[in-house]
Amino acid sequence: NTMVISWITQSVSLQIAQSIVYIDNAKNLWKDLRDRFSKGDHFRMSDLLQEIHSIKQGERTISTYHTDLKILWEELEILRPIPACSCTVKCTYELVKTVRNYKEIEYVICFLKGLNDSYNTVRSQVLMMDLLPNINKVFSLVLQQERQVLGTLLQEANLVASITNNKPSFG
C-alpha cells in the first residue's frame, strides 16, 4: 500500500501530489484520481478534432508533419479510447476491430488531405484504392516521393552551381 501510494504520488505533478497527500489508502487514491481525470474533456476533444481535420503540411517536412499529426491523434485517443468488448460470451462481432479500422481510415484521409499540392498524385493514387493502406504505409509512400523530389531539386541546384562556377569571366 505505502509503496503504491509513493509511486503514484511521485508520478503526478506537484500540484496534484499536494491535493492527494492526505489519502492513505492506495485504492482510495487511485479512485480519487480516476474520478477527477477520467472524464473526457469535451472542449479539448473539440479542439483536437478541429486541429486534426484542418492541419496542413505547410513548410514542414513529411516526417515532421506526420509526427505533429500523430501527436494530436494520440492525445485524442487518450480522451476517446476504443471501448473494450464486455460480452460475457466470446464476441463474434469484431466491433473493436471495425472501429479501429474506421479510425485508421480517418487518420489516413486527414494525413493525405493536409499534404501540400505537390503531393496531389500520390494523394489521388492512395484515395482511389478500394482498401486504403494503413497510415505507416501511406507515410512511407509519401516520404519516398518527398525524397525523390528533394533529390531532383538537389541535382538541379548542383547543376546550376556547376554552370555558374564554370562560366567564363569577362573582365
Phi/psi for 90 (5° steps) reads -50, 120
Q: pTM score, two decimals?
A: 0.67
Q: Smallest Cα–Cα separation from 108: which of 144, 140, 60?
A: 140
| Residue-level length of the chain | 171
Q: In sequence order, what DSSP letters do the residues of 46-61 get, joined into one string?
A: HHHHHHHHH---TTS-
Quick one: cell of 19?
491535493
pLDDT in tens, 100-126: 999 999 999 999 999 999 999 999 999
Instruction: Check residue 89 and give its pLDDT.
Output: 75
Delimit the domains of the chain by residue range: 2-37, 42-165
